[in-house]
Chain A
Amino acid sequence: MNFPEDLKYTREHEWARMKGTKVVVGITDFAQDSLGDVVYVELPAVGDEVKRGESFGVVESTKAVSELFAPVSGKVVEVNDPLVEAPETVNEDPYEEGWMIAIEPSDPKELADLLDVKAYTAFVDEQE
């Protein structure tokens, strides 16, 4: 399993990357591996408000539906639209091409509550 050191993580297996004032969000290697082949992604629209810990979309594999949870609250400022046509990108490159949305956080302090790579790795080990 690959969990990049420079990212923050949630217990719902999303990752968050600070990029300027934005927070880019996707699902982790663990999440994509557990799901299996991703065949459908449903994402919010630019301008939508998301709330920390609440669902902002879904990823679906051949067998199952899995909700996506926002790591921070804020406004959606970018959406990775090509995923809709190429959902397999989530499996192939979860941390780069497979990103899902970028959020302009309304409360940057929330970032401090996310897990660092060490805490997330320990959390995943517990799950397995």
Chain B
Amino acid sequence: MAQRTPLYDAHVRAGARIVEFAGWDMPVQYAGILEEHAAVRTAVGLFDVSHMGEVVFRGPRALAALQAVFTNDLSTVADGQAQYGCLCREDGGIVDDVVVYRRAADDLLVCVNAGNRQKDYEWLAAHAGGADVKNESDDWAQLALQGPKAAALLQHCCDVNLSAVKTYRFAPGKVLGQDCLVARTGYTGEDGFELFCRPADATALWDGLLEQGAAEGIRPAGLGCRDSLRLEMAYRLYGSDMDDATTPLEAGLAWVVKLDKGEFIGRDALRRQKEAGLSRKLVGFQLTGAGIARHGYPVVQDGRTIGVVTSGTKSPSLGTSIGLAYVPPALAAEGSTFAVDIRGRPVAAKVVKTPFYTRQAR
């Protein structure tokens, strides 16, 4: 049976449609994906992301040990700062993409994807490098409060001075009386926060934020709009856009691979791949013909399959049909054209700049 977050009953009460995702019974939508998407882009939405996992590195070896399995460079972030990056295998394949929250050099929290909780913990524990590595996934719930009105709403509910918590920073504090880690991170492209709390406190926090945000037009938001929001930003989704058989370089994540920071698992393979050149690249595209591209649809040119779509939807914010696809590097430049095979019909597409969506100036 699928696992449930501490907020499962709250979702059912709110009329959510529940689907199984990565082994979890999660709300895919409440009122509707488009309405929730719009709420996050224009006001504020509240997500339950308690299915995400948390693995903690502690002890004097914690920072060095995590550096040895992480593609980005944690020596460049201060305590109270977070950093995105990948865990890679020796061959450069992506074990997971994660956000590391550096509480201190001897206390770092790794937020991992729901479907990879166990795999990541086993991988990290096997490469503990003298650190104390603990799977705390069941000890944390997580709420994501996202949207242009998130900061004002949260400031009203918490004792942390949020103007001091810049993007990708975090601080401990109380939100509606509950102990939280208040992090200015998210997966929507809007300003917003992720609140790490105790599972027992999650429902009080959830109900309280919805009540406090009513005047701002807050909506509970499900995984459906989480996916359309992240895709408008071209944020990659593990399991769809990348997996153990793709490297961060292929996935367009070279910006989180610091080959010169010192040794880490996968570095040599990634360096070799960079020198040899890539055979495929993940690009953002827009369909110029009618239709919607979906995960798994072939990318074709002159009747030959030359790539594959990894994510696709009709962008609720832009109204256009957008997606991510692996294509040969020769077709990766902005303006390149190819076709997506939609149920046997080639539909024209062109490579466009990502993110597809740009946050509105306010």
Contacts from A to B (Cβ < 8 Å): 36-37, 39-40, 42, 58, 60-63, 65, 84
A40 in contact with B224 (CB, 8 Å) = no
Given contacts A39-B316, A40-B321, A62-B313, 15 further A-B contacts (CB under 8 A): A36-B29, A36-B32, A37-B32, A37-B34, A39-B34, A39-B292, A39-B314, A40-B292, A42-B291, A60-B292, A61-B33, A62-B224, A62-B314, A63-B28, A65-B294
Residues of A within 8 A of B73 (CB): none
Tell me which of A58, A60, A63 contacts B224 (CB under 8 A). A63
Residue B343, interface by CB 8 Å: yes
Residues of A within 8 A of B294 (CB): 65
User: With A and B bound together, what is the CA distance between A84 and B314 in angstroms?
Assistant: 13
Interchain nearest-CB distance for A81 vs B (Å): 12
- Closest partner residue, chain B, to A60 (CB atom): B292
Residue B146, interface by CB 8 Å: no
- Closest partner residue, chain A, to B35 (CB atom): A37
Residues of A within 8 A of B313 (CB): 62-63
Residues of B within 8 A of A58 (CB): 343
User: With A and B bound together, what is the CA distance between A61 and B33 in angstroms?
Assistant: 9
- Closest partner residue, chain A, to B319 (CB atom): A39
Interchain nearest-CB distance for B193 vs A (Å): 25
- Closest partner residue, chain A, to B34 (CB atom): A37
Residues of B within 8 A of A84 (CB): 290
* Residue with the highest number of chain A CB atoms closer than 10 Å, among B17, B33, B290: B33
Per-residue contact bits, chain B 181-219, to A (CB 8 Å; 1 contact, 0 not): 000000000000000000000000000000000000000
Contacts from B to A (Cβ < 8 Å): 17, 28-29, 32-34, 37, 224-225, 227-228, 290-292, 294, 313-314, 316, 321, 343
Tell me which of A40, A42, A62, A65 contacts B316 (CB under 8 A). A62
- A/B interface sample: 27 pairs, CB < 8 A: A36-B17, A36-B32, A36-B224, A37-B32, A37-B34, A39-B34, A39-B292, A39-B314, A39-B316, A40-B291, A40-B314, A40-B321, A42-B291, A60-B292, A60-B314, A61-B33, A62-B33, A62-B37, A62-B225, A62-B228, A62-B314, A63-B28, A63-B33, A63-B224, A63-B227, A63-B313, A65-B292
Interface of A is mostly: strand
User: With A and B bound together, what is the CA distance between A84 and B343 in angstroms?
Assistant: 18
A37 in contact with B291 (CB, 8 Å) = no
Interchain nearest-CB distance for B280 vs A (Å): 25
A36 in contact with B33 (CB, 8 Å) = yes
Residues of A within 8 A of B292 (CB): 39-40, 60, 65
Residues of B within 8 A of A60 (CB): 292, 314
Residues of B within 8 A of A39 (CB): 34, 292, 314, 316
Residues of A within 8 A of B343 (CB): 58
Residues of B within 8 A of A37 (CB): 32-34
- Closest partner residue, chain B, to A63 (CB atom): B224
- Closest partner residue, chain B, to A88 (CB atom): B34
* Residue with the highest number of chain A CB atoms closer than 10 Å, among B225, B228, B313: B313
Interchain nearest-CB distance for B228 vs A (Å): 6
- Closest partner residue, chain A, to B227 (CB atom): A63
Interchain nearest-CB distance for B40 vs A (Å): 14
Residues of B within 8 A of A40 (CB): 291-292, 314, 321
User: Across chains A and B, which 5 residue pairs bring their CB atoms closest together, nearest first?
Assistant: A39-B314, A62-B33, A37-B34, A40-B292, A60-B292
User: With A and B bound together, what is the CA distance between A37 and B228 in angstroms?
Assistant: 13
A62 in contact with B34 (CB, 8 Å) = yes
Residues of A within 8 A of B227 (CB): 63
User: With A and B bound together, what is the CA distance between A27 and B32 in angstroms?
Assistant: 18
Interchain nearest-CB distance for B52 vs A (Å): 20
User: With A and B bound together, what is the CA distance between A74 and B32 in angstroms?
Assistant: 36
User: With A and B bound together, what is the CA distance between A65 and B314 in angstroms?
Assistant: 12
- Closest partner residue, chain B, to A62 (CB atom): B33
User: With A and B bound together, what is the CA distance between A10 and B357 in angstroms?
Assistant: 40
User: With A and B bound together, what is the CA distance between A40 and B224 in angstroms?
Assistant: 16
Residues of A within 8 A of B321 (CB): 40
User: With A and B bound together, what is the CA distance between A36 and B294 in angstroms?
Assistant: 17
Interchain nearest-CB distance for A85 vs B (Å): 11
Interchain nearest-CB distance for A119 vs B (Å): 26
Interchain nearest-CB distance for B26 vs A (Å): 13
Interchain nearest-CB distance for B209 vs A (Å): 24
Interchain nearest-CB distance for A118 vs B (Å): 27
Residues of A within 8 A of B225 (CB): 62
